Structure 1
Amino acid sequence: MQQSAPIRPESPAPADAGRLPAHVPLVKEPWGIWRSFQAARRNVLEIIPEIATRQPIVSGRTGKRWHMVMDPPSLKRILRDRLADYPKSDVTKNILRPAIGESLFIAEGAHWHWQRRAAAPVFSHRNVSGLAPIMSAAAERSCARLAPFAESGGARAADLFEEMVTATFEVISDVTFSGGEGFDREEVHKAIDAYIAQTAKVSLMDVVGVPTWVPRPGRVMSGAALKTMKRVSDAAIESRRTRPATGTPDLLELMMAGEDPETKRRMSTPELRDNLLTFIVAGHETTALTLSWALYLCAFDEGVQAAARGEAQAVLAGRAATAQDVPNLPLTRRIIDETLRLYPPAAFLSRTAQAPDTLCGREVRKGDTVMIPVYALHRNHLLWDDPDAFRPDRFADPRAIDRFAYLPFGDGPRICIGASFALQEAVIILATLLSRFRFEAIPGRAPKPVMILTLRPEGGVWLKVHKA
């Protein structure tokens, strides 16, 4: 079957069409390599055929054989049972390795194992809870920046995506390099944005399967941004080696103290830098996206927003949320969970089969690309009731949801190491904002979900900000 990437729709569906929040209308007609490449450069989600939301697996060939898998038992096989047979795809590594080296996100085999063992204690419940005051302080500063938009005389519109990027970058930079010696936040932030803009798009050579050693022009041109990120990070790490630890340890201090219990190996400066850059990029971008989409959804459904505001105001009584408040904010957490279902930041994962296998009765050959379109998985009609609707209460009983039908952080041994950190931060900031403001949708300004490296709201998330 020559089922390949679909034709791009003429325009996105309106956010209020059938009272469904913004989504990508997946289409049905197959096409060839050139259009697949164009679509992937523009929005990776556009290469997902609509049938992927109604079947457990879709296979085809676009330059090379591929399979999109939406079947929970098969996903368990890929992500847990036969992890070594399904490493991250060459395309993913080509895009990310120049920036984050052989860090946890990229490394395979023994090199991954020792880093994971060394880093796991860093994200213990105790350490994550200890970093919560930084999140609460960032929530307070965000409220202060938004307050002028809600002053008397009428609410004004604000781009909540831009604001959430600011807030979460403050958090990740403070918990990574507290004190900031030798660390220019603005310089690193600009370098990260430049790197993503220049290198994260899929190359035609990726689509047709050109060997990985052939340079991709866009990635060759990203050298300046990469050098800036690495230079600033290396300087901060070396400075910290000579500075005595004070107060609650930050991520850098915890990582420097981390040791693989089996090999007793500790991370060198380049290894620390690559992993810290991974945490910085992932730690602010993905949480900012989750919060932006959550605020959009709250504005989309004013009833849910009002209920969440009531919950937050009752618990917080005017102050910012803390780690201790998180268990008492169940609706806020369900909103975050449902947001991650509808708009997972990592909405499209890719693996390369290293051995023959069978998935959903379909033959998988060595070298085949095995894709996990998380966006389609989370909207699959075989797994979810009314999958395109915003319904936070579907998470009221997490036991009712198949573990491998919901993968905002992946699963198996390579599940996102910072998941608990991200969820705590998202609940703290969202609850604090909802307790003090009411967010109103602006007709005609619904964001469009567009994925290049992560699932971003094209055009920002513009909402009117009112006092609560």
Structure 2
Amino acid sequence: MTDTAALPPPSPGYPPRVALARKPLGILGSAMTARRNVLELIPELAVRQPMVSGTLGIRWHMVMDPEALKRVLKDRVEDYPKSTVTRMILEPAIGDSLFVAEGAQWRWQRLAAAPAFAARHVEALAPVMTAAAETSAARIAGAPQPFDAFEEMVAATFEVISDVTFSGDEGFDRDAVHHAIDRYIASTARVSVLDVLGAPPWVPRPGRLVSGGALRRTKAIADRAIADRARRGPRLPPDLLDLLRAGVDPETGRSMNPAELRDNLLTFIVAGHETTALTLAWALYLVAFDPAVQDRAAAEVAGMDRITAADLPRLPYVQQIVQETLRLYPPAAFLSRTARRADTLGGREVRPGDTVMLPIYALHRHRLLWDDPDRFDPDRFAPGVDRDRFAFLPFGGGPRICIGANFALQEAAIILGTLLARFRFETVPGRVPYPRMILTLRPQGGVWLRATPR
């Protein structure tokens, strides 16, 4: 792949961006770069051209063209399954659950889980989000300043996902699950040189052999909570566990067994708290970075002591900030697929076995798709602004679009609105977060801010 060049400090209106690659590096250098930050493998050319292809152990194609992305994610989705590397990283933790399953195995799970994420159920879970937002505000008010907004948002969103998943069951050890997930990501989610070389899955990756104990303990905790719920019966109102237990594939009549419930619940816990926490942490940094945006959002939420789902239609600008944050710093910033059949994308030949990379980070900053794309501007998402559906993919696209997208957007808007109503945030000189992706796009060094009560 390619090497990187250092970037100057962010200038006004231009928050930190990844130093994209500028010259070839070779197999070993690419593997080392990928372990440090997957996004630094993206060539600078990728934000100026619709596709970039190459060979490095494996044949690969980076796709930034909306029409080609539509073909991969929607029109021929069965021909582009999740890549082998993605499955090797995630299957030990979440099995053949909704996120990694393919074909018929994916379809029946999606149909069975869909009712749990219907709009009425997502809205019914909003009080948990409001309560977590208020608890977070109380912690920030009592915290030494400056504070790490990323750590705080991780705590807030984990409260939400654990409460809406297991309703605070005593048998569900939140801290143990949280720490096990963190250890798993830190030890297994880095790309191996064997991945770059295209080695088959049965060749051991040493870094992925060290987290078995934490995974087994996490699954055991979830299994106990599921068994306990089966004995006690559903909660009122039902939580995500109850909704998934009741879910049935209307085509086959199949429902999830305890192991399938566990794997899907762990999927939602892993995906449902860190991704939203990242969105909120980056959003807080961006509003602190741009005081004019913060003032406009604060005016929108002024006087709102307790923000609920019913208030969201009156908070369009807060929701625009969330969307623009997802554009600049998409948590799932780099996706990959393995071509199953021969195809043509953007005029380029794709052979069976080729790796097709979907660098969402580059797509969202592409010079042909966005005006001044590195600038923070929530008005890009103002009502009536038109854009290609496949130019903005923070939750993916097509039939496999993230099932929890509306849940995440609702949670982010409630928590962000609550915090902006209660505090003014300022950046800390010399503490600029750098976007670094291993499994998700994290702020290296944390997001250090000062919060002043309004």
TM-score by length of 1: 0.96
Equivalent residue number for residue 345 of structure 2: 359
Deviates more, 1:170-179 or 1:18-27: 18-27
Equivalent residue number for residue 462 of structure 1: 448
- 1:175-190 aligned within 5 A: 175-190=164-179
Equivalent residue number for residue 164 of structure 1: 153
**2:155 partner letter:** T
Secondary structure (helix, strand or coil) at the match of 1:65 reads strand
**2:323 partner letter:** D
Answer yes or no: is 1:32 the counterpart of 2:26.
Answer: yes
Equivalent residue number for residue 256 of structure 2: 267
**Structure 2 residue ranges without an equivalent (≥5):** none
CA distance in 1, matches of 2:255, 2:10: 49
Equivalent residue number for residue 428 of structure 2: 442
Go from structure 1 to structure 2 and tell me whether the alpha carbon gap of 1:223 and 1:126 turns closer, same or farther (over 3 Å shift): same
- 1:241-256 aligned within 5 A: 241-256=230-245
**Percent sequence identity over matched residues?**
64
Which one of the candidate residues 338, 341, 356 is aligned to 2:327?
A: 341
- 1:45-64 aligned within 5 A: 45-64=39-58
- 1:2-81 aligned within 5 A: 5-9=1-5, 11-16=6-11, 19-81=13-75
CA distance in 2, matches of 1:267, 1:181: 23
Equivalent residue number for residue 409 of structure 1: 395
CA distance in 1, matches of 2:114, 2:171: 26
Which one of the candidate residues 322, 328, 332 is aligned to 2:314?
A: 328
Equivalent residue number for residue 135 of structure 2: 141
**1:40 partner letter:** A
Q: How big is the shift at 1:19?
A: 3.6
- 1:275-424 aligned within 5 A: 275-313=264-302, 317-397=303-383, 400-424=386-410
Which one of the candidate residues 431, 445, 451 is aligned to 2:417?
A: 431
Contact 1:338-1:390 within 8 A present in 2 as well? yes
Question: 1:115-173 CA distances to partner (integer Å, 9 max, x unpaired)?
Answer: 000000000000000000000000000010011248xxxxx201000000000000000
Q: How big is the shift at 1:451?
A: 0.1
**Structure 1 residue ranges without an equivalent (≥5):** 151-155
Secondary structure (helix, strand or coil) at the match of 2:201 reads coil
Q: CA RMSD in A?
A: 1.0
Equivalent residue number for residue 229 of structure 1: 218
CA distance in 2, matches of 1:71, 1:8: 23
Contact 2:327-2:394 within 8 A present in 1 as well? yes
**2:427 partner letter:** A
Number of aligned residues: 454
CA distance in 1, matches of 2:252, 2:40: 45
Which one of the candidate residues 101, 104, 125 is aligned to 1:110?
A: 104
CA distance in 2, matches of 1:363, 1:357: 6
Q: How big is the shift at 1:448?
A: 0.2
Contact 1:320-1:428 within 8 A present in 2 as well? no
Which one of the candidate residues 207, 219, 228 is aligned to 1:239?
A: 228
CA distance in 2, matches of 1:160, 1:287: 13
TM-score by length of 2: 0.99
Q: How big is the shift at 1:444?
A: 1.2
Structure 1 runs of 4+ with >4 Å offset? none
CA distance in 1, matches of 2:178, 2:8: 33
CA distance in 2, matches of 1:336, 1:326: 12
